[in-house]
Amino acid sequence: MTKLAHARPTACLALADGTLFYGSGFGATGQTVAELCFNTAMTGYQEIMTDPSYAGQVVTFTFPHIGNTGITPEDDETADPVAAGMVVKWMPTTPSNWRSAGELGDWLAARGRIAIGGIDTRRLTRAIRQAGAPHVALAHDPEGNFDIAALVAAARDFAGLEGMDLAKDVTCAQSYRWDEMRWAWPEGYTRLEDPKFKVVAVDYGAKRNILRCLASVGCDVTVLPASATTEDVLAHKPDGVFLSNGPGDPAATGEYAVPMIKGVLDQTDLPVFGICLGHQMLALALGAKTIKMNHGHHGANHPVKDHETGKVEITSMNHGFAVDAQSLPEGIVETHTSLFDGSNCGIRMAGRPVYSVQHHPEASPGPQDSFYLFERFAKAMQDRTA
């Protein structure tokens, strides 16, 4: 067993190629294995860590000031962190924010998530960009004792996200109703009192703020598990169907999600709106294909062009797979593309209110340029029932 002979970093990040990064551990102790990605957002670390789309991933934050605004329960996107761990440049300092209810390190420790600070995140980010998202093992031991050979072997043994259906791990166990709307000053979160539309949201790993956005445009939302069938969805007599974000390989989740979506499209003329994994699920149901990206898109400053208006939106993104634009069948229009790499970011069915986007218009974290997509969904339901 190979151990460090000198004192004493308390955390180690081991890449599958044998590259090692030593630093200071915080949060939980122990070891985890995952895919490593980087996120360029300057804020929203709590929302990122609790985004179910990060299942199976350790997140490297390129912005150095992580933890400086503390933790507040209102910012959780799901009940507990879903990302496997976090990597930061500087150790979190004492938080300074009027909404703070605790410190990042304590929050992570209580929820079993490992973090490492003191890392050259620029070097790590360059490595991810050049060689693709690596498989890693992240360990935190306050005594600084690490079995390096075992860590590297664990990273190499990680199966990776291709072929993994992670939606089944993060979806809700049973259906529930949602009526909480977006946070607004000074009231905070308020409840929808006069719903206009009944919407079924299929939960592949839904973020709370997406559900809030739906409620904020008048939707009485019923959330169903990822395994919901066409019959389950239509039994609620919805005015529209929403397909949520989520983690993992879309082709794997599509084994059971695609038949449901095809059934809704074949049996009804309901408006359908998808985000992130929901976008990929809709594309697969319409006959397109998805591909694994080199390092994906993760951040809150991604420029996306809407080809139908000519406008460029600054968006929030989090995905490691993408819809292959070259595989879109006839009758499916590409509506949005990334200005970073030209990858597909949106589609719609010609002549029907069925559309989806790869980015996150709920802005949690991120800009609100794309909130109009929720309003478009509400208008489609209104037009259908008029």
| Active-site residue identified among 77, 276, 336, 345 | 276
Residues 6+ apart with CB under 8 A from 221: 177, 178, 179, 199, 200, 201, 211, 214, 215, 242
Residue 172 known to be catalytic = no
Distance (Å, rounded) from C-alpha 358 to C-alpha 355? 11
| Active-site residue identified among 35, 47, 77, 362 | 362
Q: Which two tokens stand for residue 207?
A: 């973020």
Residue 90 CB neighbour total at 10 angstroms: 17
Residue 47 known to be catalytic = no
φ and ψ at residue 48, rounded to 5 degrees: -65, -45
Residues 6+ apart with CB under 8 A from 355: 272, 273, 274, 335, 346, 347, 348, 349, 376
Query: Exposed, middle or buried by CB within 10 Å (0-12, 13-18, 19+), for 330?
Result: exposed
Residue 336 known to be catalytic = no
| Active-site residue identified among 140, 319, 359, 360 | 360
What is the set of active-site residues? 276, 360, 362
